[in-house]
Amino acid sequence: MELRKATYKLYPTKQQAEALNHALRLHCEFYNAALQERVEAYKKCRISIKNKDQQPQIKVIREEIPEFATLNYSSLQVTLRRLDKAFSAFFRRVNSGVKEPGFPRFKSHKRYPGIGFSSHGDGWRFTPGEDWKHGRLRLTGVGHIRCRGKARVAGKIKSMELLHRRGEWLISLTMECNGVLREPTSGKACGLDWGVNKLLSVATESDGYQVDNPRWFQQEREKLKALKQAVSRKKKGSNRWKKACKKLSTHHRKAANRRNHEHHQLSAQVASQYALVATEKLQVKNMTGSAKGTSEKPGKNVKQKAGLNREILDTAPATLLAMIAYKVKETGGLFIETPTRKLKPSQRCPVCWSVKKKTLKERVHQCEVCGCNEDRDIAAARVNLIWALYELGSETGLHRACSVKPPPSL
């Protein structure tokens, strides 16, 4: 049994939107009050309050404050569990020695993500359309809301998140599915290499191809600059300022939707063609670290590194690889991440396995040992593929004789 997500966009009426906003505001107040209680208890009495201590208070609050009696009981429990997870993550980061562990913060109504619901049928019910395309959501106290979207796979609905993002309402359903979710692909295998110059390089044992980087930020740079300047010129809090902020938010949402759409198409293409996909494990946080340095040891090429970081984040590498991973697994295939630091795919020759350090400007792999000459990213993708095939060995049916010699042990 596997858990999968499906997202639908809601189209509430004006009255329903007001009811949803009111419920979201109450959940935000409830979250902040629970956080305040934990903070005050520790400051004054050195007592750590946990989720089990706050759960019984929900009944008292619903009895004393009529507004909270209109909210679903289990959804308030989910809100408390969300706060408990935030504290658990905070203490985990403290124990691991993170310099800035990030204490749970109070949230404003505009930044509160949404409302969680547990069991299907407990205050809410989703009725999908034919083949799980579109549907209707029945929510206690709100009514029936029209939904648009389509689930990739069908399953048993377990829980739901009611999300509010940039003025739009969405629902994210968690469903329980069985086994392989789509038809199996062919037995082909490929290696991947993500990059900024070329978004994705795909290599098989015999050939390879590359996908150009659309550079979404560069396409929208001038328009984004104008929208930001329009916001800065307005008086904060005025009606014109709010309208300018809404236009900027809409621009960001549409840009993100375009990027996600292309990522979905590209990941679906890869998953439909290959049953084994191997790529290096990326540490995006380390890759996009600042080069500013300290006052004692200032960094070099700070502006250039900032520009590179912007281009890296613009491609959303973690999102793209995550999409490829779950879509490959849906077909019953294998998604393998190779050890980047140990393997060094960008520096290694896919034929003789020798290592030579290259600068970012060197876009062609030229091996001085065996004479191999091909695009640097294609060579790195092929290294990932060869490593994955020989790591699998004879344990899977995907292993077969390669056209190259087995790589030496690392």
CA-nearest of 149, 148, 150, 124 to 137 is 124
291 pLDDT band (50/70/90 cuts)?
confident
Copy the structure tokens of residue 78.
């989910």
pLDDT at 399: 42
Q: Is the pLDDT of residue 25 over 90?
A: yes
Q: Is the pLDDT of residue 410 over 60?
A: no
pLDDT at 394: 37
32 pLDDT band (50/70/90 cuts)?
very high
CA-nearest of 377, 349, 348 to 362 is 377
182 pLDDT band (50/70/90 cuts)?
low
pLDDT at 361: 86
**Greater model confidence, 396 or 371:** 371
Please tell me the distance from the alpha carbon of residue 78 to that of residue 8, in angstroms, as a whole number.
21
401 pLDDT band (50/70/90 cuts)?
very low
DSSP assignment of 296-361: SSB-SSHHHHHHHHHHHHHT-HHHHHHHHHHHHHHTT-EEEEE-HHHH-TTTB-TTT--B----TT
Q: Is the pLDDT of residue 179 over 60?
A: no
Q: Is the pLDDT of residue 46 over 60?
A: yes
Please tell me the distance from the alpha carbon of residue 339 to that of residue 279, in angstroms, as a whole number.
9
Question: CB of 375 within 8 A of CB of 196?
Answer: no
180 pLDDT band (50/70/90 cuts)?
low
What average pLDDT does the chain have? 89
Copy the structure tokens of residue 82.
């969300």
pLDDT at 183: 65
Q: Is the pLDDT of residue 400 over 50?
A: no
One-letter amino acid at 272 equals S
CA-nearest of 393, 378, 281, 273 to 336 is 281
By CB neighbour count within 10 A (0-12 exposed, 13-18 middle, 19+ buried), where does 137 fall? buried
Please tell me the distance from the alpha carbon of residue 13 to that of residue 17, in angstroms, as a whole number.
6
CB atoms within 10 A of CB 58: 19
Report pTM. 0.82
pLDDT at 86: 94
Give the tens place of pLDDT for each residue, 245-280: 999 999 998 999 999 999 999 999 999 899 999 999
Give the tens place of pLDDT for each residue, 301-314: 888 888 889 999 99
pLDDT at 404: 43
Question: CB of 115 within 8 A of CB of 75?
Answer: yes
Token pair 């250039």 in the structure block, residue: 304
